[in-house]
Chain A
């Protein structure tokens, strides 16, 4: 299917966030140059939006229309007493010497509007509907191209959205979009494309493809974020340091090692999340992780351990019984089930030693386990959750640092941790933090646990996204 390539010119007064809009649409923090200073962009720069590797839209960043009052006066002078259509006046202006001199920036922007299918007129919604901006709109109105006003910075306090909407309606611009390039609300982008679509029917398919692609990306992003968090939580929950409690220095050292390991692991997750969402590590101000508490003790008989033991033992016993049955058959049924029973018992025992044998041996040797306590795991989850939410609401035009992560969680300590986390606590081999990486046998179950947990996190994240 060949989609029509839509050409979009992004225009507006200087420093209202034209480049920011592009950065956010492109999810590219590196595009162009953004600053609080005026006239940062002085040339027209184009960039293609790709869907599945194919270009669907070309976006053009233009310099700001700085001297609109002067330009409109000039245009009126061109018109003089003649009866002319706006577009002819603009054309005459672009061909004139003034377009190369005093109004060269404005001419660049207008030239690009004429070469495009639609113009996005970016408005800083905190600004007044001032004379120069009215004149800008009037000039754009002469360009004979659909104009979609985009109200930027609507998320802040002091916005004049209503005032702007009223004025835009007055100049016959009704397809207005609110789209904050710094604080995203998740649907702004979709609304933007939909608005363009209402004005440009021939490009409906293109825009639908774009919307669909963006929705898909968003879903994947949620899923992938959930994956990363789940990996972190499983890694940390399953992490165990074996140490002798009796020896104070070794106990303290074990605690310190564990804390450092957990901090590093969280940092890795943060880095991965930032990379995933297309932000740079320098965008994030990583505060210190609060206290990481460890918990000593061998939790051999926690309900999860027993339950898990039960499930596995049953499976192993069944396997053992099958083996015994085979033996039975081989010896011509002489044992009459004794072999089967023995097999079941052996299977159960084998399963128990396989999963908990070394732990029992450790206990006998006077070592005990140090693991991250529940509240720390809750806090880790809350912090990463907060980070992901922040990343989803962060436009790629944002210049501020991502705020610090919460230092405590509101979740009560009495609330039960999710099943996969409880399960991972009794499977030290699930943690990638413990020495030599994963052992093979735990892998499938670990994958299941991560999947399970990630599914839960994903639901939470999507609900939070949808809820706003």
Chain B
């Protein structure tokens, strides 16, 4: 079960289901030939180059799916390969050529044996056949060869090759096949056969078996002719000696005769042996010719044919065993390089948890350019935070020229992050710019940016990112990566609406004049800044345009429309001013609660002087409440439907005003005029707030203190409104100028 599941997952057909082929030596031979063929490709042999070295994708695939071990897959691949057929043909040509050579060899052996037998028995007329000479002639060379073979097989079994008779037959076979069929395929086939058959056990036993077969044929043929000649002609056997005595010859002959006699051959006895001595003269002794000839034949059988036959059988058995045991050497480079193709080390499971686009919260497009941090107009310090910098390797804080610096420290963990955020929130002088110093060594990640976004949201400051440590990154040997890394930071910065020009690479450890200038320009300390686009004029125009459409004192819903229009002017900064109004989470839940919070927030920001004025108190509450309404409607127009009815809203605002008034000890009844003044004041206050948001709370209060004067003139026509707005703008500029002074 395990196998099945595995294999189906690995995308292959289980070998067991498909039926494993029975692999024989021929298959391995083919694989070997194919390996050689593929290896020979492109290496000089031009005619091979065309055909070989194909990747054989189809056969690779079949082999992969065949399963089994590596060798099996190699064999399957070879069998399926498109060069398999020509190679098989070449191998079979080779086989038949070798077989022909073997037959030829056997015939030659038979003929040679006949010649030997004749030569052995040929004597001068009147002379007997010398028995020992005849024995040596028939068995001598054969026994010598046998001894050499035995020595070789016992002492150096690996060197059984070209020298032997079998080797000669084999080489001849290949030579003949080479003559008959020429071509690269035949060449590699011959090499493959050479590799398989002339090395190792198969070669050893094959060649030995051929040798034994040849000698067996030789001896058989020899024996046959001897029998024939002895049958049809009269021969006399004798033995001669010059230096040896009868005492040597008799036991020797008897020793030779022991085994043949045991097998039933008639052998000469002692007296016959003695009688058969011939001294070279006189008539040859003819006492025991039949016994002598039987001993000769018996010796050939016993000392020649039987051992050869036994050895032939043994060699064939060993050869068979070697053939069965033969395995491809899969460590050869030709195979090893196939491994990744037909025996993959890995199988893809695929994507298990796909990437999905996370539902993005709707974030209004907002681009805070650090250019807005004009050092002249906004004299506050530059808040600097070091994000995940190496404390030991960084000289902190970074040098910010031409301005005060609010050091938020290096943040590396949650506690430090919190502390930095607190420092930023508690700043006595509101900073004009937030600079995050990051190391190029670290890869930008969402973690850093969600923190930076949080800081930016808390402070409503424009954010600039300074990327340092470029040199260290280069020193790591990642010279080419620096540009890419800066790109990565910019890409992530864009997700929190920080523009590309606000992300600069300045190596703070190796500051140059140029990089100093860049840094100064970024932090607004230089003179190369563009003025911030003031929107208050436009906001005031919006107020005036609305007033002109009014026929009577505007209703709350008309006022809400006006606030909405003003909010639209500052729409691209809506996130930060929503925060200022404590309306950052978007529209959710009880609207009345939000309105309450917004009203209170504006009242908090107002200077104490205004809070003691009932009129301003009411105006502030309306500004905050309608600001929240504007924010809500700006985020989603459908939110209007969720608003309490306008009368309910009015009651809520009145309730707030009442509560605040009590808090400030004012209990006189509200004097509500019939003119536009309250609505215009509330709208103007809203516009001013939106214009100066992003500064610290204290700064906001200071500016409001200057802008709002105690007595509000009666405004019953657009001209009066316009006049009053002009005076407000004048005071606003004055306030900004005061703020700009150090």
Contacts and interface: CB of A to CB of B under 8 A. Distances in A.
Most chain B Cβ neighbours within 10 Å, of A26, A111, A156:
A26
A-side interface mostly: mixed
A171 interface: no
Contacts of A333: 133, 137
A102 B358 contact: yes
A158 B331 contact: no
A134 B163 CA distance: 74
Nearest to A97: B359
Contacts of B56: none
B413 A127 contact: no
B345 A27 contact: yes
Interface string A93-133: 00000001110110010011000000000000011101110
Interface string B172-193: 0011001000001001001100
A418 interface: no
Contacts, number: 248
A225 B336 CA distance: 9
A293 to B, nearest CB: 20
A219 B331 CA distance: 8
Contacts of B343: 50, 52-53
Interface string A353-379: 000000000000000000000000000
B589 interface: no
B187 A326 contact: no
B337 A14 contact: no
A408 interface: no
Contact of A50 (B330, B345, B412): B345
Interface in B360-391: 388, 390
Contacts of A455: none
A172 interface: no
Contacts of A447: 194-195, 199
Nearest to A111: B353
B615 interface: no
A54 B6 contact: yes
Nearest to A325: B141
A173 interface: no
B530 interface: no
Interface string B265-277: 0000000000000
Interface string A26-38: 1110010001111
A156 B478 CA distance: 12
Contact of B332 (A69, A126, A227, A436): A227
Contact of B45 (A14, A112, A331, A436): A436
B340 A278 contact: yes
Contacts of A127: 441-442
B477 interface: yes
A391 interface: no
Contact of A54 (B3, B43, B162, B195): B3
A47 B348 contact: yes
A272 interface: yes
A66 B445 contact: yes
Given A28-B346, A43-B353, A130-B388, A104 B358 contact: yes
A272 B336 CA distance: 11
Given A228-B333, A329-B116, A156 B44 contact: no
B518 interface: no
A128 B389 CA distance: 9
A80 interface: no
Contacts of B484: 35-37
A127 to B, nearest CB: 7
A69 B346 contact: no
B10 A38 contact: no
Contacts of B447: 66-70, 132
26 contacts: A5-B6, A26-B346, A28-B345, A37-B487, A38-B445, A39-B445, A42-B355, A46-B352, A47-B346, A53-B68, A66-B447, A112-B352, A131-B413, A132-B388, A223-B331, A224-B335, A228-B333, A325-B144, A329-B137, A331-B119, A332-B120, A433-B44, A435-B44, A437-B44, A438-B191, A444-B161
Give the 6 A-B residue pairs with the shortest CB-CB distance, closest first.
A131-B413, A46-B349, A224-B333, A67-B447, A44-B353, A224-B336
Given A46-B349, A48-B348, A63-B355, 20 more contacts: A26-B345, A38-B445, A45-B348, A45-B350, A53-B67, A53-B69, A68-B447, A131-B416, A217-B345, A220-B331, A223-B331, A228-B333, A265-B43, A326-B112, A332-B137, A441-B171, A443-B190, A444-B161, A444-B199, A447-B195
